[in-house]
Amino acid sequence: MQSSSHAAGGTLPVPRLAGHFASLEVQNHAARLGMWLFLATEILLFAGLFICYGVYRFLFPEAWAAASRSLDLTMGTINTVVLITSSLTAALAVHYAKEGKNKMVAVQIALTLVMAIGFLVIKYFEYHHKFEIGTLPGRFYSYEGIQLPGVPMYFTVYFCSTALHGLHVVIGMVVLAFSMVRALKKADFGPNNYTMVELGSMYWHLVDLVWIFLFPMLYLV
Amino acid sequence: MTPSSSIAAPGATPAPEEHHDHHPSYLVDGTTIKSWLLTVDHKRIGLMFLFWVLLFFLVGGIFALLIRVELLTPGPTIMDAMTYNRTFTLHGLVMIFLFMIPAIPAVFGNFLLPLMLGAKDVAFPRLNLLSLYIYLGGAFIALWGMLNGGLDTGWTFYTPYSAHTTTTVAPVLFGAFIIGFSSIVTGINFIVTCHTMRAPGITWFKMPLFVWAIYATSCIQVLATPVIGLLLCLVTVENLFGFGMFDPARGGDPVLFQHLFWFYSHPAVYIMVLPAFGVMSEVVATYSRKNIFGYRAVAYSSLGIAFVGFFAWGHHMFVSGQSTFAGGLFGVLTMLVGVFTAIKVFNWVGTVYKGAVDFKTPFAYFCGFLFFTVFGGMTGIALGTVSLDVPWHDTYFVVAHFHFIMVGATIMAFLAALHYWFPKMFGRTYHEGWGLVSAALIILGFNATFIPQFLLGNNGMPRRYYEYPERFQALNVASTAGASLLAFGFIIIAMYLTYALVYGKASGKNPWRSKGYEWVSESPPPTHNFVGPQPVFPEEPHFYVDPKKAEVPDAV
Amino acid sequence: MSELLNNILFLPEAASTFAERIDFLHHFVVGTTMVMSAAVGLAALFFFFRYRRRLPAQATEYVVPTLKTEFLFVSVPLVFFLAWFGIGFRDFTWVTTPPKDAMDVYVMGKQWMWKFSYPEGPNGVNVMHVPANRPVRLLITSRDVLHSFYVPAFRIKMDALPGRYTQIWFEATKPGTYQVLCTEYCGLSHSKMLAEVVVLPEEEYEDWIKEQRRGRLQDRQDALADNSLVPPVARMVEQGQVLAGTQGCLKCHSVDGSQHIGPTFLGMYDREEKLDNGQTIRVDEAYITQSMMDPGAHLVAGYQNVMPTYQGKLQGPETAAIVEYIKSLRTPNVREGASEGPAYDAIQ
Amino acid sequence: MAIANESRQEEQNMREEHHGAGRYWLIWVLLLVLTAVTVVTGRIHIPTWGLVLALVVATTKGTLVLLYFMHLIDHRGANRLVFAVSILFVVLMLAIPLVDLGTRYRGATPPGSTMSDMQAIDIGADAQEGRYGGGLRKEGKMGEESGAPRQ
């Protein structure tokens, strides 16, 4: 069963087995299933906003088109590329964790974190621009350029969904940072012990997944 | 039987405390306050939930009595309109978010799920403790908000009123939002427990029906709660900053709020009532010494209710500006939920057939439960019959209906569970006579409270009315009289159960001679539930056939 | 029989055509519920007694249902529930689809009163006059938060949504005075948000409306009426005519049927117009309002999109007045003829 | 061995499916290509099918992330079920309100009937003034001050 390369020294690092689990495989399965369920709740959380988006897009199609064109597509595209690439590095981190290459795990996670910060910086500039010209949600809307009913609603949806997504980026960064510290300090990830990296990376992929949908919805249509 | 796995070997040494010779029950295994507050034992967490849930039930109950007293006369009686509006809001909020939703899953689910599955604990014990503290944190934030101003939106928080009212909406919504996390964590924990922690031999279709019910409930909690979380956040933001997501002045759609709200809050009804169904499946099997008639039908119908129940939410919105077509769609789906519930009712009655009924207190509650489920359910179907909802919507008919099904059925199940598993939890017995008397009082009181409300609704009295036209008074007085009877019943229960807790006779391991899986362990169980080798579970739960004739389980 | 049942069930007097339909379903549902529940309850009680425990650890038979039994458990309730639903949905469609010849009353809820206004006539606060035996369509909206318009005697209820219109209709059968209640929680004085529907015999109603129009009768309700909602000119059509002139509508739209920059107002209401994208549209209140606010949304074929938007230039009642003015210019043959009965045409 | 079945199956799947890192790079390239596709087609602003196309591309991208980055392709049983159910719920949850909206009666949402039009009327007695609690909060002044136009 242990087909993958072993960590140096022969003793395989193994996570602590909690007393109430029958075996390690049960424990891992439980952790993974728990994570999937948690991701399901996250998806449903964003689904609420998608519904608001869908309903208001249905009611104000023209406002939606006009407002989405006022966004900065270049920045949005760069952010998409950044996030997709960070997802790649997160996946690679799991890959190296399985092979026990702890240094590489740390490097990949560090790359992910750097890109996450990049994402947030770009997002900050986008937000800043909007605050300047006044394309703000609801009653704060003060942009003269687009005067259609429903445009403030577009920005309500825009700000709510990107802010919620941004919050998830931050949470994901914290989770991944923990794995990175562990990879550096304890360096005990290996073929039997990579659940922590895997779960963190799954969370990160979810953040990416949500953005994959938010991007065309907000910027392109 | 032990899972043999090469990878498990190095770390798989069992926890050392399992090899003690003496196995104190979980109640006395550690007596410091800290050993309770920081415990990860699912049984202790369950008991702590029980304590808080009962406390909040008391709070909600006091609000209910205040409402009933206020409604004794058509005009102002004991409070002003604002206080009344806050009181019914708090009654709803406390009862729903702090009592009904955690009542059975967090207390009895926590306590019994691992016992019924032959596991030492739930899958994530620390998360389990965390869920308790999240619940308490949210509860106290919400209560703080309620005491510092209170809010008057009704528990439904309908916009635009909730976005504009000057009462303290934000902290209460935030508290409810936090409680939602507790619900999600508990749900995830239970689902994973059902998937991974079943003892050898307990396959999916050998799980006790209570576990099935809790499993279905957990699915709902996991899938529905995030949506209300988001919605509460949006309303909070709207109330604080005016983002205008549901603001009609900016094109916002108030009906959209209702869609999102009921997407959670309708399944939430099943979060409250499905565990009650599960409890009753156990109770009826034990006291009539029969296997459940149509086990699979009952199990599948739990899942069916959980699934279809999700998509029936729009029957709360037949007259709220939703389209006629959508009304029909939701109406049909509502009927399907009714069918699933009917299956359960028939199978419970079928379970008694050729059984051996022992009319103990929990069984008395089963009778009450059957009554409330049938009438609560049937009035629900009537309300789902789209056109009948037009006059009934938001009148006391609806109030009486959901108190019957959601409260009546669940309270019956909660009390039945409390009595049925009292020996399991505390190893003591209560006074049977008082149990039956109070059960009778509560069932009578409940009917006396809510049957007049059905009639009030027919007569046209809208809900959330502080003052009402005089023609409604007679029925309101009847209802209040019933409520006092109900309160009296609860006081008796509190007294004799507290007495039993301290002075009750030792119950022994299995006082009801039940063949449910939870009775395989000791009563009360030791800290890790099972001592020594993997316990052997009966072939299936509630198998009462004479062992000599056990070979031929015949179809009817 | 039905009187007796209504008394047992505490149902209020039935005073509309819908009430009669719904009471029938109500009796049917209550009746079957009672019979079926009694059957289940009696069976349970019989079992409790017949199969009481005789030994402490009595063994029992292993009884499982056959497929047939389970099928019965599913199909019997399903058939009944679907039957109820079928009748219920038919009635619901009926009550949410007003007949074409219905008379309109605008209903606006605000904290905490109801305002009623008639397209061609008076406005009222908390008292609505309607003729008996004539379908009345209520177009309901709200000024602030959600309300719900409920007349127990008519068995109708519809929420009032701010920024939206909802509709429901009824045909009162008995002259009299009926209570209106608000059933959607709307704040402090939710329970005081009461109003009355006064159902008058046809002739009396005509007299009443004439008197109202003449403005001679200064009755209680005019005294109560909130002046702010009463337009300067009491008759919406007249006001609309004035507005059409002052706002410049008549510069492009003729009222005599002649071609001009925009389509003529004469006979416009309820006409099928062919749009520039090939679709057709029936001109109704919604379309006219939309065309004022967003003229380019649905252009009638053959006309240029030159009209400016009146978004923000016209106030709500002014818009309504112009709509009513245009409606008054419809050619007489458009809305005559018998009602086509309940027709569900909501899907667009 | 009910307990181990599910868990062991899972462990086995996870173990067997250990590929080289090349697979991740390939998926990454695919994702970038699809991003380019969606941006290019998005810029053209195809009238009716633009949204559909964008969503199809997004779904494809999402599926790739799910299957390969999140290893859903290696998972069996419950994990897949959980995910499938959540997606199903999202779809139904989105579809039903839209169906409702699409089938409302036509007058339900005329543009001129939004509350902003109605607020322009002075209703006379100030509903907000002098009432205890529960009334409407005064319409926020912030929007007006910053010159927010009423839509």
B321: left (phi over 0), alpha (psi -120 to 50) or beta: left
For residue B107, the number of C-alpha atoms closer than 13 Å in the C-beta half-sphere is 27
D2 vs B1: CB contact, 8 Å cut-off? no
A175-195: average pLDDT: 88
Indicate the CATH number for domain C2-51+62-96.
1.10.287
Predicted confidence band at B23 (pLDDT cuts at 50, 70, 90)? confident
Report the candidate in C169, C106, C109 with the shortest Cα–Cα distance to residue C145. Answer: C109
The pLDDT value recorded for residue A190 is: 83
Pick from B520-529, C223-232, C275-284, D13-22: least confident: C223-232
Is the CB of D151 inside 8 Å of chain B's CB atoms? yes
Instruction: Test D132 with B82 for CB contact under 8 angstroms.
Output: yes
Question: Would you place residue A145 in the very low, low, confident or very high pLDDT band (cuts 50, 70, 90)?
Answer: confident
D30 located within any domain:
yes
User: Measured in whole angstroms, how far is the alpha carbon of residue B47 from the centre of its chain?
Assistant: 16
Question: What pLDDT is stored for residue C95 in this prediction?
Answer: 92
Q: What residues in A contact D94, CB-CB < 8 Å?
A: 47, 50-51, 54
Closest approach of C83 to chain B, Cα-based (Å): 9
For helices C17-50 and B324-352, angle between their N-to-C axes, nearest 10 degrees: 20
Cβ of B165 within 8 Å of Cβ of D116? The answer is no
CA B469 to chain centre: 35
The answer to whether B259 contacts D100, with C-beta atoms less than 8 Å apart, is yes
Indicate if D53 and D83 belong to the same structural domain.
Answer: no
Percent of chain B, pLDDT > 70? 95
Tell me the pLDDT tens digit for each residue of B43-81.
Answer: 999 999 999 999 999 999 999 999 999 999 998 999 999
**Rounded (to 5) percent helix, strand, coil in chain A:** 75, 0, 25
Q: List pLDDT tens digits, range D29-46.
A: 999 999 999 888 888 777
Residue D3 within any structural domain of the chain: no
- Bigger pLDDT: B415 vs C228: B415
Contacts of C111 in chain D (CB under 8 A): 127, 135-136
For residues D26 and D57, membership in a common domain is answered with yes
> CA of C81 to nearest chain D CA: how many angstroms apart?
22
Q: How far apart are CA B430 and CA A192, in angstroms?
A: 51
Among candidates C196, C112, C110, which has minimal Cα distance to C154?
C196
Instruction: Write out C317-337 in H/E/C secondary structure.
Output: HHHHHHHHHHHHCCCCCCCCC
Query: Could D99 and B329 be called an inter-chain contact, meaning their C-beta atoms sit closer than 8 Å?
Result: yes
B30: left (phi over 0), alpha (psi -120 to 50) or beta: left
B365-379, C120-134, C213-227, D88-102: range with highest mean pLDDT = B365-379
- The interaxial angle of helices A102-133 and A151-185, nearest 10 deg, is 160
Is the distance from CB of B374 to CB of B345 less than 8 angstroms? yes
Q: Three-state secondary structure along D12-68?
A: HHHHHCCCCCHHHHHHHHHHHHHHHHHHHHHHHCCCCCHHHHHHHHHHHHHHHHHHH
Domain C236-328 carries which CATH code? Answer: 1.10.760.10
Q: Quick check: C332 pLDDT over 50?
A: no
Query: Which partners does chain B have (≥3 C-beta pairs < 8 Å)?
Result: A, C, D
pLDDT > 70: percent of chain D? 56
| D39 vs C286 pLDDT, higher one | D39
- Do A112 and A174 form a contact (C-beta atoms < 8 A)? no
Cβ–Cβ contact D110 with C under 8 A: yes
Strand order of the β-sheet with C156-160 is C127-131, C195-200, C176-182, C147-151, C156-160
Task: Render pLDDT for B207-257 as a digit per residue (tens, 0 to 9).
Answer: 999 999 999 999 999 999 999 999 999 988 888 887 878 878 777 888 899
Q: Which CATH architecture has domain B45-549?
A: Up-down Bundle (1.20)
* Token duo for residue B197: 């922690």
Cross-chain CB nearest to D112 (options C144, C284, C289): C289
Arithmetic mean of pLDDT, B456-468: 93
Which of A85-99, B127-141, B533-547, C9-23 has the least mean pLDDT? Answer: B533-547
User: What fold, for C103-224?
Assistant: Immunoglobulin-like (2.60.40)
User: What is the pLDDT at residue C130?
Assistant: 92
D97 has a chain B CB within 8 A of its CB? yes
B357/chain C closest Cα distance in angstroms: 4
> How far is Cα A30 from Cα D79, in angstroms, rounded to an integer?
10
Tokens 């009162």 -> residue: C172
Do D98 and D65 share a domain, yes or no?
A: no
pLDDT score for B283: 95
The answer to whether B378 touches B400, Cβ cutoff 8 Å, is no
- Identify which has the larger pLDDT, C310 or B330: B330
- Whether C252 contacts C305, CB under 8 Å: no
Q: What is the mean pLDDT of chain B?
A: 89
Within a domain: residue D19?
yes
pLDDT value of residue D145: 31
Is D97 contained in some domain? yes
Which among A23, A140, A160 has the least Cβ separation from residue B5?
Answer: A23
- A220 interface with D at CB cutoff 8 Å: yes
Please write the tens of the pLDDT for every residue from A24-74.
888 888 998 999 999 999 999 999 999 999 988 888 888 888 888 888 889
Q: Is the pLDDT of residue B138 over 90?
A: yes
Q: Which CATH architecture has domain A24-220?
A: Up-down Bundle (1.20)
**pLDDT tens, residue by residue, A90-134:** 999 999 998 888 899 999 999 999 999 999 999 999 999 998 888
Residues 6+ apart with CB under 8 A from A101: none
pLDDT at residue A138, rounded to an integer: 75
Q: What is the DSSP letter of B534?
A: P
Chains within contact range of chain C (3+ C-beta pairs < 8 Å): B, D
C151 pLDDT above the threshold of 60: yes
B5 vs A23: which has the higher pLDDT: A23
**Complex ipTM over 0.90:** no
Residue D64 sits in the same domain as residue D85: no
Residue type, D25: W
Q: Are residues D46 and D92 in the same domain?
A: no
Mean pLDDT score, C137-161: 91
Q: Is residue D141 part of a domain?
A: no
For residue B223, which amino acid is it? L
Cis peptide preceding B524, ω within 30 of 0: yes
C17-50 helix and B361-384 helix, angle to the nearest 10 degrees:
160
Q: Is D108 on the interface with C (CB under 8 A)?
A: yes
Cα–Cα distance list, D50 to A50, A221, B396, C164 (Å): 17, 7, 49, 29
Residues D23 and D64 in one domain: yes
Dist. CA C38–CA C25, nearest whole Å? 20
Residue B241 pLDDT:
83
Reply yes or no on whether the pLDDT at D143 is more than 90.
no
Strand bridging mode C147-151 / C156-160: antiparallel
Residue A187 tokens, joined: 């360096």
> Hey, where are the domains in chain B?
45-549
DSSP bridge partners of A190: A193
pTM reported for the whole predicted model:
0.83
Q: Is the pLDDT of residue C223 over 60?
A: no
Instruction: Identify the CA nearest to B149 among candidates B86, B58, B88.
Output: B86
Q: Of all residues in chain A, what percent carry a pLDDT higher than 70?
A: 93
Q: Is the pLDDT of residue B137 over 80?
A: yes
Q: Which residue has the tokens 């099904």?
A: B405
Position D45 in a domain? yes
Yes or no, beta carbons of D7 and A26 under 8 Å apart: yes
- Are residue D22 and residue D56 in the same domain, yes or no? yes
Interface test with B, best of A21, A25, A41, A194 (most B CBs within 10 A): A41
What number of other Cβ atoms are within 10 A of residue B149's Cβ?
16
Q: What is the pLDDT of residue D113?
A: 35
Instruction: Give me the pLDDT at residue C285, please.
Output: 78
Contact B275, B214 (CB under 8 A): yes
Bridge partners, residue C212, by sequence: none
**Å between B259 CA and nearest CA of chain C:** 14
Which of D7, D45, D82 has the CB atom closest to A29's CB atom? D7
Reported confidence tier of residue C327, pLDDT bands at 50, 70, 90: confident
What percent of chain C lies above the pLDDT cut of 70? 86
pLDDT for the residue C330: 66
Residues 6+ apart with CB under 8 A from C86: none
CA-nearest residue to B206 within chain D is: D2
Task: For strands C272-274 and C166-171, give the pairing.
Answer: unpaired
**pLDDT for res A14:** 67
C193 or C219: which leads in pLDDT: C193
D85 part of contact set with chain B, CB < 8 Å? yes
**Chain D closest-CA separation from residue A50 CA (Å):** 7
Residue range C94-138, pLDDT digits in tens: 998 888 888 888 888 888 889 888 876 677 888 999 999 999 999
Chain B residue numbers touching A206 (CB-CB < 8 A): none
Cβ neighbour number for residue A2 with a 10 Å cutoff: 11
pLDDT of residue D16: 62
C292/D113 Cβ within 8 A: no
Which sequence spans correspond to the domains of chain A? Answer: 24-220
Arithmetic mean of pLDDT over chain C: 80
Q: Does residue B439 surpass a pLDDT of 50? A: yes
Provide the percentage of residues in chain D whose pLDDT is more than 90: 19
Q: Which phi and psi angles does C36 have, rounded to 5°?
A: -70, -40
As for how many domains chain D has, the answer is: 2
pLDDT at B209: 94
Question: Using the beta-carbon criterion (under 8 Å), do A91 and D151 form an inter-chain contact?
Answer: no
DSSP H or E segment with residue D46: none
Closest Cβ opposite residue B325 in set D6, D11, D103: D103
- The answer to whether residue D34 is domain-embedded is yes
Partners of residue D3 in chain B, C-beta under 8 Å: 3, 196-200
Question: Cβ separation of D42 and A219 shorter than 8 Å?
Answer: yes
- As a whole number, the mean pLDDT across chain D is 68
- Arithmetic mean of pLDDT, A191-218: 91
D66 close to A (CB below 8 A):
yes
* Domain range for D91: 76-102
User: In one letter, which amino acid is C273?
Assistant: E
Chains A, B: CB pairs < 8 Å? 154
Q: Which tens digit of pLDDT belongs to each residue from B179-204? A: 999 999 999 999 999 999 888 888 89
Give the DSSP per-residue string, B467-503.
S--GGGHHHHHHHHHHHHHHHHHHHHHHHHHHHHHHH
Q: Where are the domains of chain C?
A: 2-51+62-96, 103-224, 236-328
Residue bearing tokens 């209709």: C169
Model confidence pLDDT, tens digit, residues B375-434: 999 999 999 999 999 999 999 999 999 999 999 999 999 999 999 999 999 999 999 999
- List all residues 6 or more positions away from B424 whose beta carbon is below 8 Å from its beta carbon: B111, B112, B115, B518, B519, B523, B524, B525
What's the pLDDT score for residue C200? 93
Same fold? C103-224, C236-328? no
B155: its two tokens: 């528990």
**Amino acid occupying residue A41:** T
